Structure formats: C-alpha cells, structure tokens
Amino acid sequence: MNKSSAQGSEDPILQWVTFRLDNESYGINVMQVQEVLRYTEIAPVPGAPSYVLGIINLRGNVVTVIDTRQRFGLAPVEVSDNTRIVIIEADKQVVGILVDSVAEVVYLRQSEV
C-alpha cells in the first residue's frame, strides 16, 4: 500500500517519467527509472535480437540497450541532442531504452492511467 492509500485516498497519485517517440508521449513509473543518460556509444552484440542495439558500460555494470522505436514498430531516426537512454529496472533486470527525448515527471491519479 502506498502513502496515499494509507492516508485514506481511494485514488493514489503516481509519478511518471514521460518520454517521446515520434509525436507520441509515453510514461514509465518513476519507481522503475534509475537514471536518464545522454546518448553514448553503444557496443553491438553479435547474434543479439534485432531490437537490441547493444550494451553500454554504466559505472562498471554492463547494461543492454533496447531500440524502443523498433519494438514499437516505428521508423528509425538519427540520434539527436535530445536522444536519451533511460535506465530502468523491469522484472529484476536493469536495461536501457533508447528514446527520442525525455520530457518531464508528471503526477497522475491511478484512475487516469
């Protein structure tokens, strides 16, 4: 139970990190986001699935980076100054997802998600 529920709220407020792919906005629960990185060189991994861009070294840890555009069926675009790698934890695995840009943290009630 989160703090909002414990304080009697039936509709807790959640925080979401929002990012862009093409002209669409998406969000990830802030509790899953470890950090947001500027684009850095990604080392390819031979034999990896096509949606895996490769790996990066994050303070001595190897992190797999996923091509989010490909996974969502979007056309590839050139990396820009706004391109980011969002480091997330999902199913006890730390991965990076490549996004066009990161916008902001928004607060939404659970019923709005």
Say what the pTM is.
Answer: 0.85
Reply yes or no on whether the pLDDT at 26 is more than 60. Answer: yes
Residue with tokens 């969502």: 72
CA distance linking residue 107 with residue 62, whole number of Å: 31
Distances (CA, A) of 46 to 41, 64, 80: 16, 13, 25
**pLDDT (0 to 100) of residue 61:** 94
**pLDDT (0 to 100) of residue 27:** 94
Structural domains of the chain sorted by starting position, each given as residue range(s) with its CATH number in brackets: 3-112 (2.40.50.180)
**pLDDT (0 to 100) of residue 99:** 98
Q: Per-residue pLDDT tens for 3-14?
A: 444 444 688 888
Largest CA distance in the chain: 52
What mean pLDDT is reported for the chain? 90
| 11: DSSP letter | S
**pLDDT (0 to 100) of residue 9:** 61
**pLDDT (0 to 100) of residue 34:** 96
Q: Which residues pair with 35 in a beta bridge?
A: 87
**pLDDT (0 to 100) of residue 108:** 86
